[in-house]
Amino acid sequence: MCLTAVYSAFSWLPTMLAAEGLSTSVAGSGLAAYNLGGVIGALACALAIARFGSRWPLAICCLGAAASAWLLKGVNVGQNVNLLIFGLGVHGLFVNAVQSTMYALCAYVYPTGIRATGTACALAFGRLGAIMSAFAGAMVITAGGSAAYLGMLGSAMLAVLVALLFVRRHIPSPGGRRENTVLVATSS
């Protein structure tokens, strides 16, 4: 579902903005803000995971992605283009923070003996969401316009939140790890 949200934005965000009567340059700015937010979000979430573990940073980012999409439904695009562009950047920050850091979670969840196969299978399954986005975006925009499109993005991220809360093995916080340490005595 996360890749459904990511690829729906990549594929359909300019179309949705153009359907709202905005110029091509504004549509391009919206996509650029989404991607810039994604870079910032990925870095910030990676730092948060290194400090707090993965469960709560990923959950908070999912909630932020859902909330930002739903809040964007209330923006009057004709009067508040800058707020729209900023909101798309915030949404991109949260969605891409989740998507990019789930790769680290995936590598943690699978045992070493099947890590490559498990991660590859998870990524392949995620690509089904990317494929689904091509159809879902067109269908939702045609049926309900921008409000339905933004609702779909928010709902997809809520589904990601529920799925992530069911994952039992998250990356622990550094204080929560029990690592084997070897003490080496040195003589002076």
Task: State pLDDT tens for residues 136-146.
Answer: 888 998 899 88
Say how many domains are in the chain: 1
The answer to the question of residue 183 being in a domain is no
Identify the pLDDT of residue 129. 85
* Residue 115: CATH number of its domain: 1.20.1250.20
The answer to whether residues 12 and 69 touch, using CB atoms and an 8 Å cutoff, is no
The DSSP output letter for 170 is: P
The H or E element spanning position 65 is: helix 55-72
Question: CB neighbours (10 Å) of residue 130?
Answer: 16
Residue 17 three-state SS: helix
The answer to whether residues 119 and 110 touch, using CB atoms and an 8 Å cutoff, is yes
Identify the pLDDT of residue 188. 42
Q: Would you say residue 96 has pLDDT above 90?
A: yes
Task: State pLDDT tens for residues 116-165.
Answer: 998 899 889 888 988 988 888 889 988 998 899 999 999 999 999 999 99
Closest CA to 148 of 86, 72, 90: 72
The answer to the question of residue 86 being in a domain is yes
Q: Would you say residue 181 has pLDDT above 60?
A: no
* Token pair in block for residue 42: 């990925």
The answer to the question of residue 144 being in a domain is yes
The answer to the question of residue 187 being in a domain is no
Q: Would you say residue 179 has pLDDT above 60?
A: no
pTM: 0.87
The answer to the question of residue 72 being in a domain is yes
What residues make up the domain containing 91? Answer: 2-176
* Token pair in block for residue 69: 């999409």
